[in-house]
Amino acid sequence: MMLRIKPVEFLVENSSLELERVKNQECISEFRVLGVCGMHPDHQEALKKNRVALAKQLLLSELLEHLLEKDIITLEMREHIQARVGSFSQNVELLNLLPKRGPQAFDAFCAALRETKQAHLEHLLLSTLSGLQHVLPPLSRDYDLGPSLPVPESCPPHKQLRLSADAVELSLDNGDGPPCLQVKPCTPEFYQAHSQLAYRLKSQPRGLALVLSNVHFSGEKDLEFRSGGDVDHNTLVALFKLLGYQVHVLLDQTAQEMQEKLQNFAQMPAHRDTDSCIVALLSHGVEGGVYGVDGKVLQLQEVFRLFDNANCPSLQNKPKMFFVQACRGGAIGSLGHLLLFPAATASLAL
């Protein structure tokens, strides 16, 4: 198993983080980042002020195809919107989704309106936007140019994961444990440029993180032992701790146990006092789901439902990040994607 490191900036208040790409012959797990920062507050306000007019007047049939083409929504999101009864309900569903689709969603939505002969609605949004005043505040007083999180200092040079522009390859399975990780503070310039588009992440801890790893399987599916799963698990736990999260760990759970314990995690009172949440699921998987150790499948949409605003109000308007590492069954070369969704409620497309 080889680890290839490429530079990806991820703003967590005053930290930039590199995400790793892990490859082997049977499964490729790849981080994909959708919307590193949220929609600009002015864009959210423009949508909010024109919400009723948009909900009444939007014509979605062609518009959704444009948004799908621009990677603002996924196929699953389009189907979810179209499943709503009536055009008004469908429009409301899209308006609920747009603010969670990243900093480019507003411009892409306006372009889609223009391309579908709904320019009057684009003009409505842009007129509202021009009337909004947005002043960049000074850096918060608790911003520190030095590392705000502990950084390991005694790792052998050949195992350091440096945040460098050069791609590096390191072995993870050379018998002496996972590599040391480092979290590097972003520059003041990067912070100044991105702080207005980022979620607030100042709580201590920054949030609760759950890492669930299934390695040993039984049941009729005859799923293989996940070699190297302990390395992935330990690396994620170490990384989330370095980022200031309180980490909870679950190992070798059945599908029923996964659902029950994810629900318990979502209902933890501590979410009220923190600014974000992380859930990492590492297991075998199928399209749209992950296996429990009993060979039964837990659907990912059910996982997301446990953390939506209705079922988890303590995390409303806070970023909920889902990492899923699961090889899908099938022919040689099948892929398992590791995805990051910083949006508050996002749908996962495998």
C-beta of residue 133 within 8 angstroms of C-beta of residue 71? no
Q: 327 an active-site residue?
A: yes
| Active-site option among 233, 284, 312, 337 | 284
Among 248, 271, 327, 337, which one carries the catalytic annotation?
327
Residue 207, SS3 per DSSP: strand
Q: Give the DSSP per-residue string, 34-85.
A: S-SSPPPHHHHHHHHHTHHHHHHH--HHHHHHHHHHTTSS-HHHHHHHHTSS
Exposure string for 270-290, b = 16+ CB within 10 A, e = fewer = ebeebbbbbbbbbbbbbeebb
CB atoms closer than 10 angstroms to residue 187: 12
Q: Are 340 and 320 in contact (CB under 8 A)?
A: no
Query: Cα separation of 37 and 102, whole Å?
Result: 6
Separation CA 100–CA 130 (nearest Å): 22
- Contact (Cβ atoms closer than 8 angstroms) between residue 279 and residue 323: yes
337 catalytic residue (yes or no) = no
Distance CA 107, CA 17 (A): 27
Residues annotated as catalytic (active site), given as ranges: 284, 327
